[in-house]
Chain A
Amino acid sequence: MAMKINTCSEVVSLARELEQQGATFYQELARRWPELSEVFSGFAKENENYLTLVERAYYGVISDAYEGCFAFDMDPDAHRIDTDLPEGLSRSQAVARATAMEENLISFYREAAQQSRSLMADVPRAMEMVAKKRTERLRKLQGL
């Protein structure tokens, strides 16, 4: 089991890693299924925006006076995402993987929002917002 993560910096780095992995995953889906390229490329682009949202909140309000090093107690392994796309995967299987990934990410952002309540409001708000937007994305995926 990996060590728990406790600092804001670690959580933001984990968010960065997850968003980038997710974006690469959607770019690959866009390449494999050109008929849905617009949707998947859009998701990849949105991942960048989500990361910007989180980073902006963190860098904008991180302050020596608040509990930046002590705010979190998260298990990073619980939020690892499976972005593996074996050859021969059907479209519906790929969408199922995307759905599982999004559910995992929603749970990550909700947990991060919950644990960052002692920080300035911008951080939990940004985390909540990303979780909410991902819930909307989930609906789009289910409609494919």
Chain B
Amino acid sequence: MAVLEEPIKEVLELKNYVNGEWVDSKAKERWDVINPATQKKLATVPMSTQEEVEGAIQAAQEAFPEWRRTPPLARVRCLFRLKEMMEKNFETLSRVQTMEHGKSIDESRGETRRGIEMVEVATGIPSLMQGYNLEDIASGIDEYVVYQPLGVFTHIAPFNFPFMVPLWYSPFALATGNTFVVKPSPRDPISQVKLAEMFEEAGIPPGVYNVIHGGAEAAKILMEHPAVKGVTFVGTTSIGKIVYKTAGENGKRAICQLSAKNFMVVMPDADVNATIAALLTSFFGNTGQRCLSGANLVMVGDDEKFNKRFLETFFDATAKIKVGYGLDESVQMGPMQSADGKKRVLKYIEIGIKEGAKLVLDGRKANIMGDYPETCFVGPTIFENVEPQMTIAREEIFGPVAAVLRARDLDTVIEWINASNYGNAAAIFTGSGKAAREFQYRVECGNIGINIGIVAPMAFFPFSGMKDSFYGVLHGQGKDAIRFFTESKVVVQRWF
């Protein structure tokens, strides 16, 4: 299959989108945005100055009163137009993600679709945002609750889903009447720029939606500025701790969706072929750079015949994964997003070997389809004979590495999962309703899969998470997001 046409033809000089204008940054520091597969430079992105970041927040603050007064139905009409534009530009948006991130084109299209779904759900705000009331709470007195927007919200975006993750928040924030400032990851900010062009074309008024480029300094302002009412963050637990603490100290609400170490548990009665298809996506989809990725594969029970057959099939299927540039339609796994990411994965492979795990599939020397530099490529990697106390079974690798463990029974696995610092996702593969029920009841993770490899909640459900995988009270997406972006005001009313 041929490589699909690249939508970015020349190096882009990215601008900030503030108060409805595309503004050149005065920043002296600019980063290069590199296609991780080809190593070609795609864009330069400014590390915006303090004044520029504050200017974006101010624009959002000034736009708030009028946007808040805009009827919900009129607000969501803008979102309907935005959706139309996203559909119209679906393929371009997807290919841009592949170019700047490296993921396969199927995965990018999936990301675009998920992003659009957030907008679709947020268009239900005229119904979803309604409060509630009760007459005669005392004689002649009625009481009711209204949900009101708060003002400016910010988002500090990760690199792994450059298009979709900011959309976990922005459509809900805007639909509920708030204004928004997003700081894309400087590693892959282009799809957010393309998206902002669509917000502009959709008629979102100036200042309601803003994009400011930058790094840690810009992020600090976005979480400390007095005009900001709430911060949303997706990234590592170590940074998330800082964001959550800073937001708390500054009196802001926060959603921090963080690192993970997800267990995929295979019971002896699992459907082999269907489970393996699900596990390939889980462990190696998005090159393992996903907080819902499988990390530990646990074979439960002493049915050696089943375990052997299952693992041999899994190893064979993994070894056949086609690695290359994601715009080649036949590619199943792209490169890591950065050379640093690859370095981290290689470090963990070395640790796994040193700690005595058996390397059954070595991705250190990837077999790349096509003539591309190795800089960011790692092949799928599998370790066997992994013990739960080993580093590779405990720490987040964030790459295409599967650690295979054996457990004598389900109770043991549940103990391991619950002993982990992380609690993002876990899945069980089984034909037994009893085992599945036990698993979903006892496991301390926010997202539970039953015969599902990637436990990604749909836009109308919260994207949950527990322990060090999530700091906050309300989650992104669904009704949680609506509550997060609104304050409940109680009115008690009596007429004399």
Residue numbers of A with Cβ under 8 A of B are: 3, 5-10, 13, 59-71, 118
Contact = CB atoms under 8 A, between A and B. Distances in A.
B274 A8 contact: no
Contacts of A70: 277, 280-281, 317, 332
A9 B329 contact: yes
A5 B330 contact: yes
A94 B277 CA distance: 42
Interface string B153-197: 000000001001000000000000000000000000000000000
B113 A69 contact: no
A66 B453 CA distance: 8
Interface stretch (B21-29, B102-110, B408-416, B481-489): B102-110
The 9 closest A-B pairs by CB, nearest first: A64-B110, A68-B106, A65-B456, A69-B332, A9-B329, A65-B454, A70-B280, A63-B110, A10-B329
A69 B104 contact: yes
Nearest to B1: A10
12 contacts: A5-B330, A6-B330, A7-B330, A10-B330, A59-B90, A64-B107, A64-B161, A65-B114, A67-B277, A67-B453, A70-B317, A70-B332
Interface in B1-34: 1
A111 B452 CA distance: 23
- Most chain A CB within 10 A, of B106, B113, B322, B332, is at B106
B286 interface: yes
> Main SS of the interface on chain A?
loop
Q: Which of B105, B277, B286, B453 has the most CB of A within 10 A?
A: B277
Nearest to A60: B113
A55 B274 CA distance: 24
Nearest to A61: B113
B94 to A, nearest CB: 9
B292 to A, nearest CB: 8
A69 B90 contact: no
Given A69-B285, A69-B333, A9 B280 contact: no
Interface residues of B, number: 34
A7 B110 contact: no
Nearest to B454: A65
B278 A67 contact: yes
Given A6-B332, A66-B110, A118-B277, 13 more contacts: A5-B330, A7-B106, A8-B106, A9-B109, A10-B1, A10-B330, A64-B286, A67-B278, A68-B107, A69-B285, A69-B333, A70-B277, A118-B278
A4 to B, nearest CB: 9
A130 B483 CA distance: 44
B322 A6 contact: yes
Contacts of A61: 113
A69 B454 contact: no
Given A59-B109, A69-B104, A7 B329 contact: yes
B464 to A, nearest CB: 15
Interface centre among A5, A13, A62, A70 (most CB of B within 10 A): A70
A69 to B, nearest CB: 4
Contacts of B456: 63-65
B111 interface: yes
Contact of A7 (B278, B292, B332, B453): B332
A6 B106 CA distance: 11
Contact of B113 (A63, A71, A118): A63
